[in-house]
């Protein structure tokens, strides 16, 4: 995974676009396929590059029409209909200042950091980013209607699109991002808190606050 303050991470074009499951028709991955992907990706998420060896999940990539492994948040971006049932606190925001990959990395590191630094967390650069991101739900509701920033509502709207409009969602949803809530990820929190913070704690104070 690249350093958290790397310009490559900050400025790269997003490979993720909000999607619903079942749009890529592939045979289910075998155990050998998944094992090979772990080795090929070196335990990193295909999309955001986050090092998440024990929490990677297989997902059908639309662009390559093949199976890849990704972290839980990237998986939810690509399967909003599933995420809506399991992550009801999630929100949809509108921004061109942050890629989806950057948001996903920042949130996973932020949750691990909050556990370790406690009351000092609000003074970190990540908290500043978090507060800005939450404010961006208003842009979604202004454009699409009241309540559409809530993940279950947004997922329902996306799933109900006809094929013609779904294929054009990149133009319609180009600036939409999924903003996860830590309370929706209890299974993964212990892993991030025990493994992630130790690896990246020295980089956290150096993180650039994008969008300032």
23 against 124, higher pLDDT: 23
**How many domains does the chain contain in total?**
1
pLDDT, position 37: 93
pLDDT at 117 over 70: no
Q: What angle do CA 73, 197, 177 make, to 5 degrees?
A: 25
Q: Per the domain annotation, does 193 fall within a domain?
A: yes
Q: Per the domain annotation, does 142 fall within a domain?
A: yes
Q: Per the domain annotation, does 75 fall within a domain?
A: yes
Q: Per the domain annotation, does 40 fall within a domain?
A: yes
Q: Per the domain annotation, does 157 fall within a domain?
A: yes
Range 25-30 average pLDDT:
85
DSSP annotation of 196 reads I
Q: What is the pTM of this model?
A: 0.79
pLDDT at 180 over 80: yes
pLDDT at 126 over 90: no
Give the least confident one: 83-92, 150-159, 160-169, 171-180.
160-169
pLDDT at 109 over 80: no
pLDDT, position 114: 67
206 against 128, higher pLDDT: 128
Beta strand 57-61 pairing with 91-94: unpaired
179 against 189, higher pLDDT: 179
Q: Per the domain annotation, does 3 fall within a domain?
A: no
Range 111-119 average pLDDT:
63
pLDDT at 206 over 60: no
**Which domain covers residue 84, as residue numbers?**
16-206
Range 93-105 average pLDDT:
87
Q: Per the domain annotation, does 4 fall within a domain?
A: no
Confidence label for 76 from pLDDT (cuts 50, 70 and 90): very high
Are the C-beta atoms of 12 and 101 separated by less than 8 Å?
yes
Backbone angles phi, psi at 169, to 5 degrees: -65, -20
Q: Per the domain annotation, does 125 fall within a domain?
A: yes
77 against 161, higher pLDDT: 77
Are the C-beta atoms of 173 and 18 separated by less than 8 Å?
yes
pLDDT, position 211: 40
pLDDT, position 106: 80
The pair of structure tokens assigned to 51 is 């090092």
Q: What percent of the chain has pLDDT over 90?
A: 19
Left (φ > 0), alpha (ψ -120 to 50) or beta: where does 93 sit?
Answer: beta
Backbone angles phi, psi at 45, to 5 degrees: -65, 135
């Amino acid at each position: 995974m690249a350093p958290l303050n790397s310009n490559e991470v900050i400025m790269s074009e997003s490979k993720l676009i909000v999607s619903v499951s079942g749009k890529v028709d592939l045979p289910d991955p075998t155990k050998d396929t998944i094992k090979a992907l772990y080795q090929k990706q070196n335990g990193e998420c295909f999309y955001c590059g986050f090092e998440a060896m024990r929490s990677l999940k297989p997902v059908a990539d639309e662009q390559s029409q093949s199976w890849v492994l990704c972290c839980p948040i990237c998986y939810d971006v690509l399967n909003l209909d599933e995420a809506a049932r399991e992550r009801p606190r999630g929100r949809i925001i509108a921004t061109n200042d942050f890629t989806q990959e950057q948001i996903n990395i920042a949130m996973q590191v932020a949750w691990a950091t909050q556990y370790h630094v406690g009351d000092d967390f609000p003074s970190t650069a990540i908290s500043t980013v978090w507060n800005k991101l939450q404010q961006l739900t208003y842009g979604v509701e202004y454009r699409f209607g009241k309540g559409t920033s809530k993940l279950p509502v947004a997922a329902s709207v996306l799933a109900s699109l006809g094929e013609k409009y779904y294929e054009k969602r990149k133009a319609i949803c180009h600036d939409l991002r999924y903003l996860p809530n830590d309370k929706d990820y209890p299974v993964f929190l212990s892993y991030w808190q025990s493994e992630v913070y130790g690896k990246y704690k020295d980089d956290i104070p150096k993180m650039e606050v994008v969008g300032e």
